Structure 1
Amino acid sequence: MDARTTSRFAVVAGAVLLVASLTGCTGSGSGVASDSDGASGSVIAPVSVPITEVDGTTVTVQVGNVVNLTGDDETFADWTAEIDDPEVVSFVDGRTDGSATFNPGVKALEVGDPDVTLTNSSTGQSVSFEVEATAPR
């Protein structure tokens, strides 16, 4: 993993932790968060997969989590997606926001197993894979 990919992963992981802290969660030493009502749940990191290795695979992700597509340091913002069931997963654009760079990805919205085809408008590259969106544990 190169420094830019490591940096992007750290930004995504930091964003997940920031969202958890902004929603009223406080961490306990076990990796379990408690909200203001005393309910607890796990804060999970995104599933990171190199975009060069995802073609023809099945990626498993829990509903509410994202698949972080890593490895494209130059044309990461040029990917688009065709999803055969957009009610199950949605595409997250790659982008630069100030000093942070965000990889493209797929967010699991509900349980299901749609096929996803990504196409890069700059390079012409295309990859297809299945997302298995599972119920949160």
Structure 2
Amino acid sequence: MESIYSKRIRAGKRRTYFFDVRATRGNDYYLTITESRKRFNDNGYDRHKIFLYKEDFNKFIKALNEAVDHVKTQLMPDFDFDAYNHDDISDEHDMDDVAETVEVPATAAPASVTAPAATSSQDEVDKW
């Protein structure tokens, strides 16, 4: 299936997350979340993929936010999670650590596609 939208997040030197919006044959949309890890012993990668369908978007976001909030407020309230924000590009940061967003033109998608309303914003994601 062709990707309509893709966001890549580098997480260290060996791990990358991909968030891809894909279209079904019937022009419906779903999200794939992929973790890709470089193997120690060879040049290959281990990949784990989650398929998330539109009817589960809000439940997934809610559960993810609750789990992250629990870690941040109950388990590790004194930890500085902002120390891991690598959004600022400077001489100190490697370009590979900066999240990359790629818009892919949809050949089979309708002219106007709107994303479902999410309960969290990009700012909330950046707080992690």
TM superposition score category, shorter chain reference: under 0.3
Q: Which has the larger radius of gyration?
A: 2
TM-score (norm 2): 0.23
More RCO (CA 8 Å, sep 6+)? 2
Higher strand share: 1
